[in-house]
Structure 1
Amino acid sequence: MQRQRRFKDKLANITIGMGGVTVILSILLIFFYLLYEVWPLLKGSDLTKGSSVASTTPSLYLDADEYNSRGLRIQADGQYDVIDAKSGTLLSRNPLPLPEGVTVASIKKGSVLSGLIGFGLSNGQLLVAKPQYTTQFDEATNARQVTASLEYPYGEQPIVINADSQPLTTFYVRGDESKLVVLAKTSQGLERLTFEMSGGEEAGGLSLGFGETSEGSEAALTQTERTLLPYSGGPITEIVLGQDGVWGYVFHDRNQLAIYSLRNEPVLNQEITVAEPGVDVTAVTALLGNISLIIGDSRGQASQWFQVRKETADGEKFELTKIRGVKLGDAPITALTGEPGRKGFVAGDKKGVMSYYYTTSQRLIGQEQVSTTPIRVLSVSPRSQGILVQSEDAFSFWALESEHPDVSMSSLWSKVWYESYPEASYTWQSSSGNIDFEGKLSLMPLTFGTFKAAFYAMVLAAPLAIFGAMYTSMFMAPALRRKVKPTIELMGALPTVILGFLAGLWLAPTIEASLPGIFSLLILTPLGILLFGMLWSRLPQEKRLFSEGWTPILLIVPILLIGWFSFSMSKPIEVAFFGGDVRLWLESETGLNFDQRNALIVGLAMGFAVIPSIYSIAEDALFAVPRHLTNGSLALGATQWQTLTRVVLPTASPGIFSAVMIGFGRAIGETMIVLMATGNTAVMDWNIFEGMRTLSANVAVEMGEAEVASTHFRVLFLSAFVLFVLTFVLNTAAEVVRNRLRKKYGSL
């Protein structure tokens, strides 16, 4: 018999020990899996040099396909070369459709999304082209075959810009399937020219856009507008059309910039100096979307500028504002190009140093010495996996590996000034319908929302649960306690999805319709309970129907009456004191916005879910205080209340603290209630009438839509990792405090 007992004890010890080890291993596996998914965000980038080919005549334009297989190289001799993008090997040479004896005077890229290239010709004309890459798979070799060429969406006939045949050197093109806009420095001055596509229907077929109809006939390009802009500056060095063509940026006189509003009739909106005295603007490019300008100067500094709406004496006005700058080196910047699909840019300087910088994260991703001569042309492949570099004496290819340049500690936890925003802010906006969208992945509003939801839940739950536990353990009749405690613990079994559903679809509209009644209830309930208790204490002992330990049952009726009275008086109170609409009164008188699903709803619903955990643990801790301590206190003449506050509470404080921290941890990690009852607005405001978005709810909402291995996907895992670490730190701190309290009061 003893042998069997020892065997069972040993087996139980082994089983319990293995269970504990399994739990620890499971937690560690979760930790390392989350870290594994997050780790790529923390990695840097790699710039690896490929091949380099000497060139005696520097290219004016470079481009590559998304696989870095084929590329285009254009020089001033009227030919364009198809090359192997990685090696620079010449594959074919093709003529541009130029008039006899005409050469290319300059080449300007249009907006990234359009992919247009403008050729300014030596006779004052303009030719617009677009790189075209066709991919086919060879079934025999199972290899990808890419062919490269130039197509001419507005026809092969050059457009006359300078009627006096002066070379066209400074201009910018922007176009789509129906219209082409050119802003150029012409012999007449600074002009905007608009051309429209026509002839598709007249040609007998449905127009397919970009110069071709359904029957293959070319559509005609017709000039519809030619406007001279008011310009009185010196020599123009660079022109850019920004943000859907509504802004014109004209750089002149070394470091001056004239900004034109082109929405209707062109108007000079602003004239500013973009560099310090004695510093020249040496290179300009626009980021994806043409909202931001990147300006490089002779000091080796690059700066980002975009339009910001500001309040002035004349009302609201857009002003081009410097947002951020970075010192890339001590040599003048000679080349700039933006990334085709992201908000980063690559710069090259006079000493042959190439730098890759990402604006949103404010990270200098990589910097390499790629040449010994000044860099003249840069091009980033569509997937940002390769950079083509043309210096004065060589062409080179550099492989780029940078999966998540848009994330940094600064962009995650600090304020970031995003494009078109009036100021730096904490913002979470992970997706948009625009291709040129700038991801806003700040974790601050999500972390703030997590703490806000937990705070309001604990404001409701902690006092009710702890005071309820105090009364149950010290004052309630044992028979009633045996019924009340299991009932409250049974509340914890209610699925939180049901609570969230009820909070979002029933509680939120009910509170919105009866907001004065809710606040009346919060005020009148404690007052009514105190009044009832005072009246009950004044009754003679022989007229009391219940003993002291059963009196909580009597409170049910007064509480129900107070609730009925509060809600029935809600509408009259709203009409009498708040002009009939308390929400409008809050916004007009106090400046507080009211959302139907807000922190008040979350506090009520999540507080209801958290109460059972706090109550059960706190009540057990209070009830477990040794009876000899309470009996001794009572025997020495202390009242039950004095015994509770001076003996029982200090002794049970470690357990009560654990109960509060466990409840707080559950509120931090709660998902379904905050998902369904908060509105999921990622705002940072302690206003109880506004919603929030929490880390857990954000993961639940967006994980199913996130592209696997994308920055958005990994930042969601980072949210889960932050939540994991946050709860671990809270629980660890709670355990440390609990042990100290136990040591302090354990000798009682």
Structure 2
Amino acid sequence: MSIENSSVIPDLDFNTPAQRRGRKLRALKDKVARVGIGLGGVSVIIAILLIFFYLLYEVIPMFRSAEVQPWEQNGQIVEPYAVPGAGKTLYMAMEEQAEIGIRVTDQGNIIFFSTTSGEVIKSIQASLPVGATITSFAMVSENSRMFALGLSNGQALVFKHTYKSTYPDGKRVILPNIAYPLGEAPIDVASTALEQLTISGSEGSYALIGGNQENLQAIFISQTENMFTGDVELEESTTHLPDLGIKIKKMLLMPDLAWLFVAGESGKMAVVNLRNQDAPIITQVLQASSSKITTFDLLLGGNAVLLGNAEGEVSEWFLVRDDQGEWQMTKIRSFDTGQTAISDLAIEHRRKGFATIDAAGELRLYNTTANVNVLAEKVAQANASMITLAPRANAALIEEAGKLTLLHIDNEHPEVSWSSLWGKVWYEGYEEPKYVWQSSAANNDFEPKFSLMPLAFGTLKAAFYAMILATPLAICGAIYTAYFMVPTLRRKVKPFIELMEALPTVILGFLAGLWLAPFMEENLPGIFVTLLMIPVAILAFAYAWAQMPKKVRWLVPDGWDALLLIPVIMLATWFSISISPSMELALFDGNMRHWLTNDLGIAYDQRNAMVIGIAMGFAIIPTIFSITEDAIFAVPKHLSYGSLALGATPWQTLTRVVIPTASPGIFSAVMIGMGRAVGETMIVLMATGNTPIMDANIFEGMRTLAANIAVEMPESEVGSTHYRILFLAAFVLFMFTFAVNTVAEVIRQRLRNKYGSL
């Protein structure tokens, strides 16, 4: 039979209707897949960009410049108006809504007026003793609304302006009034005219110091309430102050009544210790200014002094302990105010800020913590004499040539500057500049501390210690699993380790904080012995196993011998922990923590970086392991087979062929693991002391950016500086992750180009 007759070649038709439909369907699927994958990728990019721009949207308002403009009411600009009442202004202030102002004159007239029109709402004449005139004025603080008038007969009257809101017919009406916190009767302060006067105190304990250049008298007043009648009784004690040796310009008394600061007209400042009320001591007389002092006021809280002089300089001073532990008045910072003499200075009621008006009519706004001048604008002529700020710091009243001008101020976030966020700041009560994060306190006089440095440091510290543990274990485990382990065992080990990644981090944090941290503290010597014992035990067992007869070693299938290390590691760990009490007793007198703290000077916190390293390292091991294992396993087999065929050992093949080829994937795994560590929240939140400190000590805790956001965001006021700085922390975390990933991708591409030709 011929070849042609012995076989029949089928006639294949590739253009049947069914095949055409299959090709069209396949093309449609390919197109849908391409479009879907493309849309997915674009959607991820858009989502990341939206996050980026939303964070910017919340952060940018902090860096807007302050603005001042004429006050508007009902769409009309409020024009300057005549100062209500007669006489020289001793004191001027506004209530919360900046609708009503108060003016106290040298004639004892207390006038409440509309801040927008100057219309007098209420006028009260102080009850001065017969023949007495007002010779001095003193104020407790802006936010206390208490002030005192010093009289020519040596007495003083103490007042407090109050405001009550009512709503008749649904319309708000503010009713101003004057109260007498120390009684309506004049208080005897000195036997001479009160040419100088200061007052301070709170919660039933007050002090007034007054007199003239040669005779200064202090009177301390304690208020007690009769529990049966409700009457308030005053207990008074007096003392005489020593001669200060300077011509007094103004006196300031701290709220705790412990220190008196006195400014001299020649630029000197005296500091008087009043802790022993019976025997005041002059502790310091210093040259605080090179020119005449023009303003001298206490900053919010009463712990710092602001001093302005004729040269236009404003400086901040407060008490700092020296090397001998003695309190010394120290110049902390100066503010750029130009060259014109300061006419008046107004303190903000609720922030560490102030405003100045100089002889040229230029208004300047400052924040002491941020050490910034947020505004400098000419708002008056050369004869402005007084300025006052509203409690919300959103309005200012300026007196100029018998007229008042009401201004609107937009200055929402003066506390923010590069130095306050990233530099060392000398905070009130601190002995030196420091990095501090403390966003809230129990009192309203608190100085917010918004340094992001401790949080950034804590983030890197936590990630560093976690990566030290996780990286070698994960990479070495991945190398063994992908290259040396038999496929049967690999199919069991790899899913088990990857399953660890599904464990909620809140569970890990819970276990680390409540079990691991106390366990490590109680067995601290055993923990360190374990870190040494496990490698030694593994090496010793490996050596012993290699010396075993072949018939013994062949009992374990090739590639399964790694399972023999499980009991070895467990026994080594048990042995290390079991000898911990004996070692602690023998080497550290029974208390290693006490030895670290007292003998080595190393602070120990139960929830520390070592706990974080173990707990968070355990959490990121699966991430690094999985990616690394896939990268190594994906190395083409012909490369390793070729290397082995050319005579290389398995170890040489691993180090010179497999790992270089897989290095882009290994590097990506490390970077992704680091990103996971940097962004981790719950473990560091629950397993550390959560203290924002900058200390590389492994036995100290930390606070990370992510944990700080989780802790404080629910408590922050929406739109406040604190709220926006938390968004800035999130933005910093976002940018850090973006930078790390970008660098990682660049390096990964270079490694791929270098080793891709293998």
1:236 is matched with which residue: 222, 230, 248?
248
Q: Does the CA contact (< 8 Å) of 2:346 and 2:355 recur in 1?
A: yes
Say whether residues 1:193 and 2:219 are aligned partners.
yes
**Structure 2 residue 594 is the aligned partner of structure 1 residue 584:** yes
Q: Tell me, in whole angstroms, the C-alpha distance in 2 between the residues paired with 1:247 and 1:112.
A: 19
Map 1:539-688 onto structure 2 (within 5 A): 539-544=548-553, 545-688=555-698
- For each residue in 1:378-430, what CA deviation from the matched residue of structure 2 results, as whole angstroms up to 9, or x when unmatched? 21111111111223443222211111111212111111111101111111111
304 and 187 in structure 1: CA distance in 2 versus 1, 3 angstrom threshold: closer
SS at match of 2:35: helix
Task: Kindly provide the amino acid, as one letter, of the partner of residue 231 in structure 1.
Answer: D
Name which of 367, 374, 397 aligns with 1:358.
Answer: 367
- More displaced stretch, 237-246 vs 48-57: 48-57
Q: Residues 586 and 593 of structure 1 are in contact (CA less than 8 Å); yes or no, is this contact kept in structure 2?
A: yes
Amino acid at match of 1:25: I
Cα deviation for residue 377 of structure 1 reads 2.2
**Aligned to 1:23, which of 44, 54, 70?**
44
Q: Match for residue 12 of structure 1?
A: 33
1:170 is matched by which residue type in structure 2?
Q
Structure 1 CA distance for aligned equivalents of residues 395 and 116 of structure 2: 9
8 A contact 1:373–1:392 mirrored in 2? no
* 1:524-573: CA deviation from partner (whole Å, max 9, x where unpaired): 11111111111112223222122341110111111111011101100111
Alpha-carbon offset, residue 732 of structure 1? 1.3
Stretch of structure 1 that moved more, 107-116 or 282-291? 107-116
Q: Equivalent residue for 1:169?
A: 195
Distance 2:677 2:751 in 1: 24
Aligned to 1:159: 187
For residues 119-158 of structure 1, what are the structure 2 equivalents within 5 Å? 119-139=149-169, 142-158=170-186
What is the match of residue 470 of structure 2? 461
Alignment of 1:412-427 (within 5 A): 412-427=421-436
Measured in 2, the distance between the counterparts of 1:260 and 1:232 equals: 9
| Partner Cα separation in structure 1 for residue 583 and residue 446 of structure 2 | 47
Distance in 1 between residues matched to 2:245 and 2:467, nearest whole Å: 65
> Please, what TM-score do these two structures have when normalized by structure 2?
0.93
Taking structure 1 as reference, are residues 12 and 60 closer, same or farther at Cα in structure 2, changes over 3 Å only? same
Quote the residue 1:93 is aligned against: 123
Partners of 1:178 and 1:589 in 2: how far apart? 47
Q: Which amino acid aligns with 1:182?
A: L
Return the alpha-carbon distance in structure 1 between the equivalents of residues 697 and 190 of structure 2.
61
SS across alignment from 2:559 = helix
Matched residue, 1:367:
376
Question: Amino acid of the residue matched to residue 398 of structure 1?
Answer: L
Deviation track 1:72-125 (CA, whole Å, cap 9, x = no partner) reads: 112222322221113434444332222345433232221234321111223332
| 3-state DSSP of counterpart to 2:603 | coil
1:147-202 CA-partner distances (Å, limit 9, x unpaired): 223222223322233434x3x2311112445343101234761221123446x649
Deviations 1:477-497 (A, max 9, x none): 121111111111111111111
In the aligned structure 1, how far is the partner of 2:527 from the partner of 2:244? Answer: 66
Could you say what secondary structure the match of 1:535 adopts?
helix
- Secondary structure of the residue aligned to 1:129 is strand
Aligned to 1:271: 284
- Structure 2 CA distance for aligned equivalents of residues 177 and 691 of structure 1: 38
> d(CA) in 2 for partners of 1:243 and 1:187?
23
Q: Which moved more, 1:290-299 or 1:147-156?
A: 147-156
Say which SS state the counterpart of residue 89 (structure 2) adopts.
coil
Distance 2:633 2:223 in 1: 86
The residue aligned with 2:259 is 247
Paired with 1:560 and 1:163, the residues of 2 have a C-alpha distance of: 86
Residue aligned with 1:284, SS: strand
2-side partners of 1:251 and 1:700: how far apart? 47
Provide the rounded CA distance (Å) in 2 between the counterparts of 1:390 and 1:106: 20
CA deviation vs aligned residue, 1:332-369 (integer Å, no higher than 9, x gap): 21212211111111122222222111001111111222
* SS of residue matched to 2:709: helix
| Distance of 2:203 and 2:444 partners within structure 1 | 18
Report the alpha carbon displacement of residue 13 of structure 1 after superposing the two structures with TM.
2.1
Q: Is the 8 A contact 1:71 1:148 kept in 2?
A: no
1:258 Cα deviation from its structure 2 partner: 1.5
- The answer (yes or no) to whether the contact 2:200–2:254 under 8 Å persists in 1 is no
Q: Which moved more, 1:426-435 or 1:90-99?
A: 90-99
1:84-483 correspondence runs (5 A): 84-139=114-169, 142-164=170-192, 166=193, 168-176=194-202, 178-186=204-212, 189-197=215-223, 201=226, 205-207=229-231, 219=232, 221=234, 224-265=236-277, 266-277=279-290, 279-312=291-324, 316-483=325-492
* Structure 1 position 633, deviation (Å): 0.9
Deviating above 6 A after TM superposition, structure 1's stretches of 4 or more consecutive aligned residues are: none
Question: Given the alignment, which residue of 715, 718, 722 partners 2:725?
Answer: 715
Preserved contact between residue 53 and residue 395 of structure 1 (Cα < 8 Å): yes
- Superposition pairs for residues 530-541 of structure 1, below 5 Å? 530-541=539-550
Q: Which amino acid aligns with 1:235?
A: K
- Give unpaired runs (5+ residues) of structure 1: 208-218
2:17 aligns to what? none
Matching residue of 2:68: 47
TM-score by length of structure 1 reads 0.94
| Offset, 1:57 | 5.3
User: Does structure 2 retain, via aligned residues, the 8 Å contact 1:275–1:297?
Assistant: no
Return the match for 2:100 from 70, 75, 86.
70
Partner of 2:15: none
Deviation at 1:710, TM superposition (A): 1.6
> Which residue in the other structure is 2:499 paired with?
490
Deviation string 1:466-520 (CA, Å, 9 cap, x unpaired) is: 1111111221112111111111111111111111111111111111000111100
Instruction: Give the secondary structure class of the aligned counterpart of 2:323.
Output: strand
* Superposed CA offset, 1:415-460 (max 9, x none): 1111101111111111111121111111110110000000000000
Aligned pairs for 1:505-520 within 5 A: 505-520=514-529
Please give the secondary structure, in 2, of the residue aligned with 1:689.
Answer: coil
CA contact (8 A) 1:614 1:660 kept: yes
Instruction: Name the aligned partner's letter for residue 449 of structure 2.
Output: K
**Residues 87 and 107, structure 2, Cα contact 8 Å, conserved in 1:** no
Question: Matched residues in 1 for 2:203 and 2:461: separation?
Answer: 50
| Aligned counterparts of 2:222 and 2:499: Cα–Cα separation in 1 | 73
Unaligned runs of 5+ in 2: 1-21, 72-78
Matched with 1:211 is: none
Task: Write the letter of the residue equivalent to 1:611.
Answer: I
- The answer (yes or no) to whether the contact 2:89–2:103 under 8 Å persists in 1 is yes
Question: What do residues 639-696 of structure 1 show as CA deviations (whole Å, max 9, x unaligned)?
Answer: 1111111111111110000000000000000011111101101111111111000011
Give distance in 1, aligned partners of 2:695 and 2:211: 50
Query: Do the aligned partners of residues 358 and 703 (structure 1) sit closer, same or farther apart at CA in structure 2, a change above 3 Å counting?
Result: same
1:210 corresponds in structure 2 to: none
Structure showing greater radius of gyration is 2
Q: Which amino acid aligns with 1:225?
A: S
Which of 58, 69, 77 in structure 2 is aligned with 1:37? 58
* Structure 1 CA distance for aligned equivalents of residues 509 and 716 of structure 2: 24
Instruction: Using the aligned pairs only, state the percent identity.
Output: 48
Bigger shift: 325-334 or 5-14? 5-14
**In the aligned structure 1, how far is the partner of 2:88 from the partner of 2:241?**
34
